[in-house]
Amino acid sequence: MDIINIHSNLYDYTVEFVNDFSGKLMKFDDSTTYIIDKNVYELYKEKFKELDKKKIFFVNAVESEKNMDTVMRIISFFQELGVRKNWSIVCFGGGITQDLTTIASNLFLRNVNWYFFPTTLLSMCDSCIGGKCGINYRHIKNQIGVFYPPKEIFVDTHFLNTLTKDDYINGWGEILKFSLTSDENFYDDLQKEEQYIPCPKIAEYIHRGLFEKKKIIEADEFESDLRRVLNYGHTFGHALEAYTNNRIPHGTAVIWGIDVVNYIAVTENLISEEYYLSIKNLIKNAFITEEIEIAEPNKLFEIIKTDKKVKGNVLSFAMLDKPSHLVVYPMTLDDKLRNLFCQYLEKTHEYYNH
C-alpha cells in the first residue's frame, strides 16, 4: 500500500504500511532508544531479539501509568543512557505508550526525533497522526500535553492479531466516525462488510480513516473549530465511560454516543429518520449487538453537564446535518434535551427487543 504524507506546521511526516516491521528496525543505528509496551514486547519477542534490552524502556500500558511520574522516569532513563539530540527514539505500542513517548521526546533536550510503530487499531487508524498527546494529572484525563508528531509512522497490521475484542472495537469507534464524515462510499462499504472483528479488509479501512483525519488536521492542526468534528460521538460516549466507571470500552461508548447524537439530529430535523435507522442497523449488526441499558439516565445526563466544553448551560455537539457532513451544533442542557435522551433510551430499548 502507498504512503500517506501528512503536512504539519512543524514538519511533514509520513505513514507507511509495512508487511513486516522487523525489516524497518534495520534503519535505526546504535544511537537509538526504544519505548515499548511490555505486552507487545512479550508477544512479539522473537522479532525484537536483535534489540539491546538495555536500550528499551518498558511501558505498562494502563491509564494509571499515563502520568508525569512515568514521563520523568522515561527522561531519567534517557539521561542515564546518554541519549543525545541526534539520537532516535522508537516507540511500539498503543495510545498510552504513544502519549508518553510524545511528551518525553518533546521535553528531553527540547526535542529528539521519534518514530512510531502503532500496535493497536485505535493508534493505527487515528491517534498516530495529528501529533497530539494527553497525560493524566490528578485523576483528570489528558490534562497535560504537547503537539509533537513522530518523524515517520510504520503500520504493520499483523499486530492486530493479538488484540482483545474490546481493543479491536476501540479502533472501530473511530473508523465508524470517519466513515460517516467521509464520502458516502466509505459508509456504504462498511455496511456491506461481512466480518468486522477481526476484519480481513482492516488495512484498507485504516488507510481510509487516516485519510479523513489527515484532511481535518491539515486544515486545523492546533484544535480550533474544524477539529472539533473529531468529537463526533464522544460527548455522550465520554459520559457513558464515566457513568460505567470505564467498564464499557471507549470504542463501544463512542459508537453508542454516535447513535444518541444521531437521534437528536433527527429530532432537530437535521437528518432523516431513515438515515438514522440505517446507521443504527449497522451499529446493532456489527458493534453493539446487545442493548446498553442505562438504569439511571438522569445520572448520565448530569455527567454531560460537567463536560469541559460546556459554556453557561450550552454544549456544542458534533452532529450530522446531512449524510457525510458534520456541524458543530449548540444545544441547551435543559429538561427538553434530558427528555429527548430518555426518549432515545426507550426507543432503543424497543429497537433491540422487538
Ligand X SMILES: NC(=O)c1ccc[n+]([C@@H]2O[C@H](COP(=O)([O-])OP(=O)(O)OC[C@H]3O[C@@H](n4cnc5c(N)ncnc54)[C@H](O)[C@@H]3O)[C@@H](O)[C@H]2O)c1
Mention every residue, 6+ apart, whose C-beta is less than 8 A from residue 254.
173, 174, 176, 177, 233, 234, 237
Residue type, 158: H
Among 105, 106, 120, 348, binds ligand X (CB under 6 A): 120
Min separation Cβ 124 and ligand X, Å: 8
List of residues 6+ apart from 22 with CB closer than 8 A: 47
* Shortest distance (Å) from residue 142 CB to ligand X: 6
**Contacts (CB under 6 A) with ligand X, residues 11-40:** 37, 39-40
Judged by beta carbon, residue 247 or residue 347, the one nearer ligand X is 247
- Grid coordinates in use for 175? 473508523
CA distance 354 to 333: 31
If the CB atoms of residues 14 and 39 are measured against ligand X, the closer one turns out to be 39
For residue 228, state whether it binds ligand X (rule: CB under 6 A): no
What residue number has its CB nearest to ligand X?
95
Residues in contact with ligand X, counted by CB under 6 A, come to a total of: 30
Within residues 77-116, the interface with ligand X by CB under 6 A covers 93-99
Of 289-308, which residues contact ligand X (CB under 6 A)?
Answer: none
What does DSSP say about strands 140-144 and 88-93: parallel, antiparallel, or unpaired?
unpaired
Does 237 interact with ligand X (rule: CB under 6 A)? no
Minimal distance in Å, beta carbon 133 to ligand X?
Answer: 5
Backbone angles phi, psi at 207, to 5 degrees: -60, -45
Q: Grid cell 465508524 — which residue?
A: 176
* Site stretch for ligand X (CB under 6 A), options 12-20, 157-165, 273-281, 294-302: 157-165
Among 32, 14, 58, which residue's Cα sits nearest to residue 153? Answer: 14
Please say whether the beta carbons of 190 and 281 come within 8 A.
Answer: no
> Where on the chain is the footprint of ligand X (CB under 6 A)?
37, 39-40, 43, 61, 63, 66, 93-99, 119-120, 122-123, 126-127, 130, 132-134, 142, 159, 162-163, 167, 170
